[in-house]
Amino acid sequence: MADDPTEPAALTRDSLLFVDDDHFERGTVALVTGAGSGIGRATAVALAANGLTVAATDLDEAGLDGTIEKADDLDADGAIEPIVGDLTDDEFLERVVDEAAEFGEVRYLANIAGLQHIDPVDEFPVEKFDLLHDVMLRAPFVLSKHVIPHIQATDDGVGAIGNMASIHGHVATQDKVGYVSAKFGIRGLTKSIAAEGDGTLRAFTVSTGYVKTPLVTNQIPDSARERGISEREVVEDVMLGEARVKEMMEPVEVANLFTLGFSKHGRHLDGGDLTWDGGQLGTY
């Protein structure tokens, strides 16, 4: 498309939220999944810029290299340590937390990795449904299981698990049954962690509308086909039609929500949802 509304702006220091927090230093580790692209990459860079050591994991090794390069370009005070692996592999889910703990005290987990598949319910392949659930719901649960003991073992028990949900964790649109059901599920996982966290170990979700990432760009042709409309109509009418802010979010704007949620300013954010939806859910 000409004038591509899905093309993100360059990530600059000016676009980052910086928070002064005693725990935001190199001895503290944030494990970030999906860190090789889009929102996960921006979050890894944002947390490293805030001084943390980020254990950055993804299937995509070249993507992780790009994330390290971006953090270097921005002169991040912290560090990014890449760990390549597949979130559908239980052995990896245990190992990635062990490896993250070698870099310092693991206090933060950002479950961001995800993928989309477009098909109506009656044609939705069962193996795709399972894959979406494995990556976006089961892996966040298993990683939380392994990370929680690390947070509990710190001197003050302070830490947080931030889970990437979506407006699709609040409402459904057609042809996304795997995604919608996983995103509704991750809100339940988040509240369950909060219920057991005693207030120092917190959990929260982030729910946004459409963000300028490959996950969005890749679904436009399939959505156009299923709905029988043009790709531009998918963007303007389906993705932004119900929102009041008629522009997709930048990945860094989502990353800043993880920085805020993990920080001392997020102290009362526990089981709740940061709904940054451009007015889509609350208006009609």
Footprint on this chain of ligand NAD (rule: CB under 6 A): 34, 36-40, 58-60, 63, 86-88, 112-115, 135-136, 164, 166, 208, 210-211, 213-216
Measured from the CB atom, the residue of 31 and 158 that comes closer to ligand NAD is 31
Distance CA 263, CA 20 (A): 8
Cα–Cα dist 70/198, whole Å: 36
26, 78 contact by CB (below 8 A): yes
Task: Check if 179 is active-site.
Answer: yes
At closest approach, how far in Å is the CB of 228 from ligand NAD? Answer: 22
CA angle 217, 124, 92 (to 5 degrees): 70
Q: Which is nearer to ligand NAD, 129 or 210 (CB)?
A: 210
State which residue, 76 or 113, has the beta carbon closest to ligand NAD.
Answer: 113
166 vs 223 by CB, closer to ligand NAD: 166
CB of 154 to ligand NAD, least distance (A): 27
- Determine the Cα–Cα distance for residues 181 and 100; give it in Å rounded to an integer: 29
Strand order in the sheet with 28-33: 79-84, 53-58, 28-33, 105-111, 159-164, 201-208, 273-276
Give the H or E element holding residue 28: strand 28-33
Which residues does the annotation mark as catalytic? 179
